[in-house]
Structure 1
Amino acid sequence: MAYTITTKIIVFLYLTSISEAIRNVNSINSRDELSSSPINQVGICSLLIETQGYTCEEHKVTTKDGYILSMQRIPTGQGGKKSDKPPVLLQHGVLMDGGTWVLNSPDESLGFILADNGFDVWIANTRGTNYSRGHTSLNPSDPAYWEWSWDELVAFDLPASIQFVHDQTGQNMHYVGHSLGTLIAFSAFSKDQTLNMLRSAVLLSPIAYLGQISSTLARAGADAFLGEALYWLGLHEFAPRGKAVADLLSVICKMPGNDCSDLMTSFTGQNCCVNSSMTDKFLEHEPQSTAAKNMIHLAQMIRTGAITMYDYGNVDDNEKHYGQSTPPVYDMESIPKDFPMYLGYGGADELADVQDVNTLLKSVKDHDPDKLVVQYQDDYAHADFVFAVNAKKLVYDPLMAFLNLN
């Protein structure tokens, strides 16, 4: 996409501000700052789950490319009743971690609700988040640690997490993903990966296509190549709490038409039913780091409207990585037609925009009708599917009925 004069000026100002920030960076990197914070001295079990009266287990999962991921298990419901239903693996979205599923009260959080209904709950955390920053040979301060996009989540994190739960329980599991957690699932399913260990998949705020995204802030960042600017300047970690990203947001928010008075709403759409009292709790735990390369990959999807592997930007590099001049496509029409899926999307969602979801639905139009459930919630935006106070009645009860049938 060609730069406008305005965009060129904005990018120049942004590069200048980031360059200044880099010159002022001291020897304490963002990982060291996180490690000194009280929140990082404990895990999700002790911080969010055991405090609500639930039993919780902390596990570690090592991917084939060396990343060490944290995983939590809630093996019993409130009162200690042991699960008598299959495992359910919960996968969060971008800039979030597994706390997504247990931040609300027990009667409003899907992780707790599933446990209370007899499911064996497992919570995944992708590489780079607070409790998944380990590696067999790399440190988060190494640029190489952040050399990944969601392609690697498809190829390594997702299979490792699913295999781990399968090995621990001896059972096939249900999968529940939100946002980026749906994208990596769709992409894996399109290559027939991991399906032999899954019973079904629930995909909330489903993302496969982003070309019609209506979030003005997300599109502004993508169109201005601001994620690439971070990467070119050597900032491989996209740390939402860091100065560089704060400067990036400042630039985006100054663009005409962008209202940043409420950042969550500005990015996700107007969430109808998120309790305002949970904002402080949310900010204690989220947002979290991801790779700048991951944000670039998502920006590529916004700019092109396609769902492909990471584009290295030139024929030679794409040939080197893929053996072809353009990145390979994840073909949604290749998802097995008999695999049970439940898709839930909202009319106010500006990230999983209705038009993009409709494109996805057209690509799976030949799916076996009795294996595909689609739920549309007119007033829901992106965060409502995981944080809304009425989600149990509107989303989670139908979701569990689907799981019980599969």
Structure 2
Amino acid sequence: MWDALWLNGHLATMEGEAGYGIVEDGAIGVADGRIAWIGRRADLPGAAETLAARVHDAGRAWITPGLIDCHTHLVHGGDRSREFALRLKGASYEEIARAGGGIVSTVAATRAASADELLESALRRLSFLRAEGVTTVEIKSGYGLETKTEIRMLEAAGRVAAESGLRVRRSFLGAHAVPPEFKDDPDRYIDLVCEEMIPEIARRGLADAVDAFGETIAFSPEQVARVFEAAAAHGLPVKLHADQLSDQRGAALAARFDALSADHLEYTSADGVAAMAAAGSVAVLLPGAFYFLRETQAPPVAAFREAGVPMAVATDCNPGSAPVSSLLATMNMASVLFRLTPEEALAGTTRNAARALGLAGECGRLAVGLAADLALWSVGHPDELAHRLGFNPCVGVAIGGRRIR
């Protein structure tokens, strides 16, 4: 007997390489937190009450995989709303960063925050995502830029998982910016990242991947390569903030190290697209940052599509360049600003987002054997999830088959 059976809903399984994978009037059987059976209700192998201990009525809602936000900076201290005002007066992101604002200003606030303060503020931010059907979230460090604070951030991210019940993947982003104490010797800071931080974080099992920011205001391709080599030596996959503000050939660099993903990608060249396609790396699009920074060059979406590069969509929720806490709004931005179809936007927050986190065999689709992470939506068609802005039609969420709302 199954633990639970979901009936009276339409399914967007997100199976296959394209489209929603629709099953009208579908059913999902759950056992031990995983999908044990899925298909049309008419094809169930028996009467509902004989098949499962609990039967859930979806009320004609659409059921999708639980959404996945595969790029966030939820754990941090401080506030950078003042920089928003400065940008509106004409200051660029780069100018603010070079004047001591940006990431470095958040570093000071994060270093001063206690572990409990970091946890409490992250849970507040996460609550908005959870209310919109998010069941898996990636959380990066990168606002400590010293060993003890980077560890404190990753530990707080682990506590977020325990407190929220959501699946959390942690990425170590020590190579996010050059801290003030190393401003005249960034190579020595990379030494610290490679020789102390990564070994200690790997030893403690605090990260699922290593990330870096490759950009003129951050780290050079050579410095990023050193970080990735250290990650590989400790068995950790890599990701990269790539080609956001200029073409630093970051996508190709990420592909050279078989990165799970390269993220941002506004300035990625044709060579970078081809390299990602060959490596199987996911292109993570972050339209919230594009919107808030008032960028004008969009990522090469048509080229990714033609080359078969899977595209994920994420909030990039962070204190400065993307203070976005709505994945549904991000899906709309991806469609309006980057011309993703509604199907691509939902695939970007389900099956492709799972792939970007190394979780393709765990979640992101409704298929037998995968986690029974479900989001229920009061909509007429899944297109509405990307089409409408400023509304939340999520009427139910289950993680591992257990209904949490």
Which TM-score bucket, shorter chain as reference? 0.3 to 0.5
Structure ranking higher in helix proportion: 1
